[in-house]
Amino acid sequence: MTDVGDRLDQAWRRYWPRLVAGLAARFRDLGLAEDAAADAFAAASRVWPVRGVPDEPMAWLTTAATRRAVDRVRRERVRARSLPLLLVDEGDDDDDLLRLVFTCCHPALSVTSQVALTLRYVLGVPTAEVAALLTVAESAMAARLTRARAKLSGAGVAYRVPSPEELPQRLSAVLSVVYLAFTRGYAPRRGGEVASVEVAADAIALGRMLGDLMPGEPEVRALSALMMLQHSRRDARVDADGGLVLLPDQDRGLWRMGEVAEAVRSLRGLVRAGVTGGRYFLEACIAAEHCVAGRPQDTDWRRIAGLYARLEVLTGSPVVRVNRAVAVAEVEGPQAGLDLLEGVDGLLPRFHLLWAVRADLAGRLGRRDEAVAAYRRALESVTGAAQRRFLEDRLARWESQPEGS
Amino acid sequence: MKYALLLYGREEAWAQASEAERAAAYAAHEEFGRLLAARDAERGGEELAASATATTLRRSGEDVVLSDGPYAETVEQLGGIYFVEAADLDEALELARACPSEVVEVRPVVEMAGD
C-alpha cells in the first residue's frame, strides 16, 4: 500500500505540471485543466491501490483527465460559451509545460498573481496552501486566482512560449517566480513553522524540468543548482524547538551532501561551457562555497566576498551589499563590514537583516550600546516567529552585559 | 482581437508646449499611424480636447446631475484613443510601446457576436 502511495507522490511531482499544461492547451481553459487533472489524480488514488500502478502512469492520467474534462465541457457547454477562452497557438506537445509556465508568469499580471498562478497551476499547490504561503486569507487568494485567470483569457494573453527576442526578459521573470515560489516554501508562516519542504521540492523539480526544456539557458541550470544547495541544508536549519539555526551553528552532518555534489557538478558544467556571470550563477557559486566547507572556519570568505562584489555590480542591489558586508567582515574584520553598510539604511528602511548584521558586527567590536540599539531596530521590522526569537535572545544577552565587556 | 489604446498625459505640459513641440508630437502620431496602417492594425481613433472642456453626467434615479470637468481629476488625463487589431496581448503591447504617449492603457474591446 505505502508503495502505491509513494508511486502516487512521485507521479504527482513528475506529471502534474505536464498534465495541466497539456489539458490547458487542448481545452484552452486553465480552471478546467486544473479540475480535470485533480479528478484524474483522485481516480488514481482509488484505482491504483486496487489494480496496481499502470505501466504508463502519464498516459493513464492523461486519458482519465481528458475524459473528465470532456464530461465537464459537455455539462457546462451553455455556460462555457459565454466565457472567454485562452488563446492557444499551434505548437508542439513538448512545449505545453513551457507555455503554461510562461503564461502564468506573463508580465501583464502582478508579480504576486504570477507567483500564485505558478504555485496553483504549475505546482498544483492547493489554494489554501497558496494563501498560507503568500500570507493572505484563503478567500482573498481564491478571488485573486479567479481574477488572474479571467485576465489571462479576457485580455487575450496568448498561451505560448515567447519569441527568441522576447525570451531573455520573459525568462528572467519566470526564474524569479520559480525562485520566489521556492523561497516562500522557507519563509515564516503564520503558525511560526519555518519550512514547507514540499513546495520547495516541487519548485526544484520544476527548475529541473525547465533546465531540460531549455538546455541553452545557463541561468535556468544555475537557479536549479542554487535551490538544490539551499535545500540540502533543510534538516539543519531548524532545531528541535522550531528555532532558527544560523549557518555557522548548523550541524553539517545533517546537510545532504549527495544533493550538494549534484549541484556542484552542474555548476562545474556551466563553468566548462564558458559561463562566468549571471545572477543565479553567482548566487549558486556563493551557496556552493558554504556547502563545501567542512567546518565554518574552513569557509573561503575571500572568494565569497569577491563573488558578492560581482553580484553587486550586476544587480546594484543593497541587499547584496549587506551580504557582501558580512563576507568582507570575515576577511578584513567587523569594522570593514560596518564601513560597507554606511548609507544603506536609507535604501532598506524595513530590512531587519541589515540591522541584525549591524548589531552583530558592532557586538564583535565590543560596542554594546550600538549593538543593543541595532537589535531593537531589527526587531521593529522582523516578521516570523523563529527569526524574532533569535533576535530577542541576542538582545537579551547584550542587555544583561555592561558596556565594554 | 481588437484593443483600445487609451492615451493619458499631463495636459499642463501640452498646454505649455511650443509650436515646434506640438508639431513634433503630431509628427510622431502620424508616424505611429503609418506603422499601424502598414501592419493593417489601424481601426480608428481620435484626439480628445482638454479635460477642462469635459462635462460629466451622473444619473441617480430620474435625476441627471451635470458636473463641470472630467469623470476623474487625475494628474494624467485621457487625451486620445486608438483602436488596433492584434493577434494577442503581446502584440497589442508591442503596438502600445510604439505609441507616442506618456501612459498607455491597453484594454481589449468586447466584440459582439456577428461583428
Q: Does B84 touch chain A (CB under 8 A)?
A: no
For A280-307, the pLDDT digits (tens) are: 999 999 999 999 998 989 999 999 999 9
In a domain, B48, yes or no: yes
Residues A271 and A295 in one domain: yes
Spatial CA neighbour of A175 closest among A280, A329, A252? A280
In a domain, A200, yes or no: no
Residues A316 and A346 in one domain: yes
Q: pTM higher than 0.80, yes or no?
A: no
In a domain, B113, yes or no: no
Give the CATH number of the domain where residue B99 resides. 3.30.70.1060
Number of domains into which chain A is organized: 4
In a domain, B60, yes or no: yes
In a domain, B96, yes or no: yes
Using CA atoms, how far apart are residues B112 and B67, in angstroms rounded to an integer?
32
Q: Is the ipTM of this complex over 0.90?
A: no
Give the CATH number of the domain where residue A329 resides. 1.25.40.10
**Taking 70 as the threshold, does the pLDDT of residue A77 lie above it?**
no
Residues A69 and A5 in one domain: yes
Domain containing residue A39: 1-83
Q: Contact A87/B88, CB-based, under 8 Å?
A: yes
Residue A152: closest C-alpha in chain B? B89
Residue A157: closest C-alpha in chain B? B89
Inter-chain contacts counted by CB atoms under 8 A, chains A and B: 27
In a domain, A148, yes or no: yes
pLDDT confidence of residue A190: 47
In a domain, A205, yes or no: no
Residues A96 and A62 in one domain: no
Residues A115 and A141 in one domain: yes
In a domain, A257, yes or no: yes
**Where is average pLDDT lowest: A121-130, A142-151, A240-249, B48-57?**
A240-249
Query: pLDDT class for B106, splitting at 50, 70, 90?
Result: very high
**Taking 70 as the threshold, does the pLDDT of residue B82 lie above it?**
yes
Across the range A337-348, mean pLDDT stands at 90
Spatial CA neighbour of A285 closest among A305, A257, A314? A305
In a domain, B115, yes or no: no
In a domain, B79, yes or no: yes
Residues A236 and A316 in one domain: no
Domain containing residue B91: 2-108
Residues A166 and A187 in one domain: yes
Number of domains into which chain B is organized: 1
Q: Contact B89/A108, CB-based, under 8 Å?
A: yes
